[in-house]
């Protein structure tokens, strides 16, 4: 039977997804995880005010969402102290990255990222035929100097950098980021993914500058605000870049109830402060559990802790699998040198107690393989 052909580019792509969800693993195992500590979700949950706002809004789910995200976009702009036309709201950072790549990448366009950085960005770039150049991490951190050099060598249109970083959890002082921005090629755009920026526990996040047309920054309600399932992200920067999203974005893509919940979450900064405090305490707990088992936690500025298992990638995979067999869902970085590690999401004490109890036996079993 004949069928309509895919485009040559689509035909050449593997049918893969950047992440396998814990639900897929549970279906394969035939049981649920006792502790869900691998997806970088905020296990402390969203603001009760956000939950109430979404519950109240559900009765009007028959309505289409506001295609401009008017109220939420203006509230974000006030929060950031920027203009409303310098902010765009989208279905999570993942989708915003896809829109941005669509705007700037065509077959053969050079794009630079770090080897092992957030894979969804790479997924979009290859989907539009871009050419990826990857540079290695340095001291468990993304390497701004190497990214700039690779961009210069390849005449790159885009550079992707997450700060704080996923999957290692480290972050650069924003003086380093400012220096990187100053050295950008005028025809190169830096995508600064700040999904975890609220978790930075010092004052290195600079005053926001939306006048530079070579930088766009992205943030989310998925992490610190505890609304990963709602899929609400936003980008902000120079108005010319932001307005270009209107050319390609899905104007009715935002869920109406999610818009309302995100607005309520943004307005409840007291809950955010409590959540950040809970995450900081959980980071300390995870680090102590790791150290108590002879492992080395990498200092984190996120809602997870990456743990050096002290051997190679195969051993880290074994630890991950043995934890999974004991009902503890964690993940791990995929590229060297981070692939020697596992990554544990911050959670409440009862779930971390399950991790604490399972880790010694998991390590013992991994060593005996």
pLDDT band of 206, cuts 50, 70, 90: low
Once rounded to an integer, what is the mean pLDDT over residues 327-352?
Answer: 96
C-beta separation of 335 from 113 below 8 A: no
Dist. CA 273–CA 275, nearest whole Å: 5
Bridge-based pairing state of the strands 189-193 and 215-220: parallel
Q: Does 48-269 carry CATH code 2.40.33.20? A: no
Burial 76-89 (b: 16+ CB within 10 A, else e): bbeebebeeebbbb
Query: Which residue's entry shows tokens 């390609």?
Result: 248
pLDDT band of 203, cuts 50, 70, 90: low
Once rounded to an integer, what is the mean pLDDT over residues 188-203?
Answer: 92
CATH for the stretch 8-45+270-367: 3.90.1150.10
pLDDT band of 20, cuts 50, 70, 90: confident
Parts of the chain belonging to CATH 3.40.640.10:
48-269
Longest dimension (CA), the chain: 63
C-beta separation of 189 from 104 below 8 A: yes
Cβ neighbours for 255, distance < 8 A, ≥ 6 positions apart: 65, 91, 230, 231
Helices within the chain (DSSP H only): 8-12, 22-29, 48-57, 70-80, 92-104, 119-127, 144-154, 174-182, 239-244, 256-267, 269-292, 313-325, 349-367
For residue 203, the 8-state DSSP code is S
pLDDT band of 350, cuts 50, 70, 90: very high
- Taking only the tens place, the pLDDT of each residue in 287-333 is 999 999 999 999 999 999 999 999 999 999 999 999 999 999 999 99
C-beta separation of 87 from 233 below 8 A: no
Backbone torsions φ then ψ of 74, nearest 5 degrees: -70, -35
Q: Which of 179, 192, 195, 190 is nearest to 213 (CA)?
A: 190
Average pLDDT across the chain, whole number: 96
pTM reported for the whole predicted model: 0.95
The yes-or-no verdict on residue 345 having pLDDT over 70 is yes
Query: Which residue's entry shows tokens 């593997």?
Result: 14
Parts of the chain belonging to CATH 3.90.1150.10:
8-45+270-367
- Taking only the tens place, the pLDDT of each residue in 209-263 is 999 999 999 999 999 999 999 999 999 999 999 999 999 999 999 999 999 999 9
DSSP class per residue in 20-52: --HHHHHHHHTS--SEE-SS---TT---HHHHH
pLDDT band of 208, cuts 50, 70, 90: confident
Cis before 164 (ω within 30)? yes
Question: Which pLDDT score, from 0 to 100, does residue 201 have?
Answer: 79
Question: Quick one: tokens of 4?
Answer: 């309509």
pLDDT band of 7, cuts 50, 70, 90: very high
The number of residues making up the chain comes to 369
């Amino acid at each position: 039977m004949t069928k309509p052909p895919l485009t040559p580019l689509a035909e050449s792509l593997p049918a893969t997804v950047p992440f396998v969800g814990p639900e897929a693993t549970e279906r394969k195992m035939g049981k649920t995880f006792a502790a869900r500590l691998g997806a970088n979700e905020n296990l402390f949950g969203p603001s009760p005010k956000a939950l109430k706002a979404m519950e109240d809004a559900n009765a009007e789910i028959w309505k289409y969402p506001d295609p401009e995200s008017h109220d939420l976009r203006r509230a974000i702009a006030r929060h950031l102290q920027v203009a409303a036309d310098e902010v765009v709201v989208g279905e999570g950072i993942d989708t915003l990255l896809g829109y941005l790549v669509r705007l700037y990448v065509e077959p053969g366009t050079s794009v630079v990222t770090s080897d092992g950085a957030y894979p969804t960005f790479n997924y979009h770039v290859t989907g539009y035929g871009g050419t990826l150049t990857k540079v290695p991490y340095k001291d468990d951190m993304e390497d701004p100097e190497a990214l700039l050099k690779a961009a210069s060598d390849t005449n790159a249109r885009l550079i992707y950098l997450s700060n704080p970083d996923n999957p290692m959890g480290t972050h650069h002082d924003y003086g380093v980021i400012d220096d990187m921005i100053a050295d950008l090629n005028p025809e190169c755009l830096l995508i600064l993914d700040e999904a975890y920026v609220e978790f930075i526990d010092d004052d290195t996040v600079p005053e926001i500058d939306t006048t530079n047309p070579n930088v766009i920054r992205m943030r989310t309600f998925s992490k610190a605000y505890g609304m990963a399932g709602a899929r609400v992200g936003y980008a902000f920067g120079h108005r010319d870049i932001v307005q270009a999203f209107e050319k390609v974005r899905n104007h009715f893509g935002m869920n109406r109830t999610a818009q309302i919940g995100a607005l309520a979450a943004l307005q409840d900064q007291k809950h955010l402060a409590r959540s950040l405090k809970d995450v900081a305490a959980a980071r300390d707990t995870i680090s102590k559990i790791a150290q108590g088992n002879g492992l080395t936690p990498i200092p984190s500025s996120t809602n997870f802790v990456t743990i050096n298992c002290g051997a190679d990638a195969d051993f880290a995979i074994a630890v991950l699998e043995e934890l999974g067999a004991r009902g503890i869902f964690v993940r791990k970085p995929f590229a060297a040198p981070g692939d020697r590690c596992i990554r544990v999401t911050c959670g409440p004490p009862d779930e971390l107690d399950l991790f604490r109890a399972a880790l010694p036996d998991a390590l013992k079993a991994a060593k005996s393989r």
